[in-house]
Amino acid sequence: MPLVNIIRGDRIDPAPINVRTPFIRIPLWLALTWWTMKGFAGLAFVLARFWYVTAPTLVFGWLYLRFGWLGPVGLVAAVSAGSAGWYFGHRASFLRFGWWPVLSCYRRMVYRRKWHAAMVTAKLAVSFDGHTVLPILRRVRCGAGVDVVTVRMVTGQIPDDFAKVSERLAHTFGVRQVKASPGPRADLVLLALFRGDPLAKLVRPLPVPAVPEFTALHVGRQEDGDGYPLRLFGTQVLVVGATGAGKGSVIWSVVRSLAAGVTSGLVQIWGLDPKGGMEPGEHRRADVHPVRLQGLRGHGRADRGSRRRRPRPGREAARPDPAAHADAG
């Protein structure tokens, strides 16, 4: 037995006033009423929280009790026929307001089943006060080739913590790639789960608009399957890449999207190629001679100056604005 016991820590002295929690006896009927109200409140919360499961179940159950098997089958047939007509009538609105929201609800349930294991194995779960705290899966938004998952981070986490384990998350959720980016708020992170690769196959040419939209000119597709809108109005575009990277394809995609404007006289395309390449060589205003290039540039500056000094829109017919493309390598 030791002579002196030593222990580290703060000693809690007895409080000058000790208050005992009162013990209140209530009737049994009042306790049963309280428990019943709590049960109904919990049931209502579950029905509202998982409405995408409970609402169809209640509807199909009522139809079966009211009309037998003809009720649920007739509803499925009517919804299928309406969805098919909507899809063939206006495919864009069907995907945006019909298919993608339904698929988002389904994918959210799939991701939630694996969420606990994914966060623990990726070391994104935090132990605090003897409890395990997980990032919260807030929302899932599906697209053509990507699912965007909105996650509320645990206090102290940053989006880079999710980016470091992106490969582990991709294998856990069975997707091709995962990218993490900051969300609209400081406590949110957006996880882009790429399920396929829309750029692996040949991308068909996009339709040429009758009137070019210079603020959002569609010239290609992104890796998530959505279109790539290029802004030409009020800005300058620089295309950089190594030899054979596809700079010429980008240039000709822009030219193709402006084709209707060139035909109507709204757009003029001037090609300047100082290194003597072949990209704009077939255009009637393309030039490679250094002296003539300087003259063409001076003509362009003079044309821009005259357009700045012209009267306000409405007093003079609109003149075409040239778009110059320089192939830098």
Instruction: Kindly give the confidence (pLDDT) of every residue in the chain, 329 residues in length, as a single tens digit, with 9 standing for 90 and above.
Output: 566 655 555 556 676 777 777 777 888 898 899 999 999 999 999 888 888 788 888 899 999 998 888 888 999 999 999 999 999 998 888 888 889 998 998 899 899 999 999 999 999 998 887 788 899 999 999 987 889 999 999 988 999 999 999 999 999 999 989 999 999 999 999 999 998 777 777 777 778 888 888 888 888 877 777 778 888 887 888 888 887 777 778 888 888 888 888 888 888 877 776 665 555 555 444 544 555 656 666 666 666 666 655 555 544 444 445 554 544 44
Same domain, 156 and 252: no
Same domain, 162 and 247: no
Name beta bridge partners: 218.
229
Q: Name 43's Cβ contacts closer than 8 Å, sequence gap at least 6.
A: none
Same domain assignment for residues 221 and 308: yes
For 163, the enclosing helix (H) or strand (E) is helix 159-164
Residue 101 lies in a domain: no
Q: Based on the domain organization, do 164 and 225 belong to the same domain?
A: no
Q: How far is CA 138 from CA 151, 187, 264, in A?
A: 5, 12, 49
Do 250 and 180 share a structural domain?
A: no
**Together in a domain, 187 and 245:** no
> What local confidence, expressed as pLDDT, does residue 275 receive?
63
| Domain assignment present for 38 | no
Alpha helices per DSSP H over 165-289? 166-173, 247-257, 259-264
Burial class for 228, CB neighbours closer than 10 Å (0-12, 13-18, 19+): middle
Residue 126, classed as helix, strand or coil, is strand
The verdict on residue 48 lying in a domain is: no
Query: Which one, of 161, 115, 118, lies nearest residue 138 by Cα?
Result: 115
Same domain? 188 vs 224:
no
Residue 13, CA distances (Å) to 4, 6, 17, 21, 31 in order: 21, 18, 12, 20, 38
Cα separation of 210 and 189, whole Å?
A: 40
What pLDDT is attached to residue 3? 65
Q: How confident is the model at residue 289, as a pLDDT? A: 55
Counting every residue, how long is the chain?
Answer: 329
Q: List CB contacts of 124: < 8 A, sequence separation 6 or more.
A: 134, 135, 154, 157, 161, 162, 165
Residue 175 belongs to what domain range?
114-194
Tokens standing for residue 150: 């909105």
In a domain, 201, yes or no: no
Handedness of CA 288, 294, 296, 300 (dihedral sign): positive
Q: Give me the half-sphere count of Cα atoms (radius 13 Å) on the Cβ side of residue 266.
A: 11
The most distant pair of C-alpha atoms in the chain lies apart, rounded to whole Å, by 107
**Of the residues 140, 163, 194, the one at which a domain ends:** 194
Dihedral sign of CA atoms 157, 159, 164, 169 in order = positive
Is residue 204 situated within a structural domain?
Answer: no
Per residue in 95-132, pLDDT (tens digit) is 888 899 989 988 998 999 999 999 999 999 988 877 88
Is 309 part of a structural domain of the chain?
yes
**3-class DSSP state of 30:** helix
**Do 223 and 178 meet the contact criterion of CB atoms below 8 Å apart?**
no
Strands 267-272 and 321-326, how do they pair?
A: parallel
**Same structural domain, 188 and 262:** no
What is the tally of structural domains in the chain?
A: 2
Element at 37 (helix H, strand E): helix 28-49
> What pLDDT digit, counting tens, does each position of 263-302 carry?
888 888 777 766 655 555 554 445 445 556 566 666 666 6
- Whole-angstrom distance, CA of residue 92 vs CA of residue 83: 13
Position 20 in a domain? no
Contacts of the segment 74-77: beta carbons below 8 A, 24+ positions apart? none
User: For residue 215, what pLDDT is reported?
Assistant: 82
Residues 190 and 248 in one domain: no
Share of the chain above pLDDT 90, in %: 27
What CATH number does residue 128 fall under?
3.30.980.40
**Do 185 and 233 belong together in one domain?**
no
Burial class of residue 162, CB neighbours in 10 A (0-12, 13-18, 19+): buried
- Asked if residue 143 is part of any domain, the answer here is yes
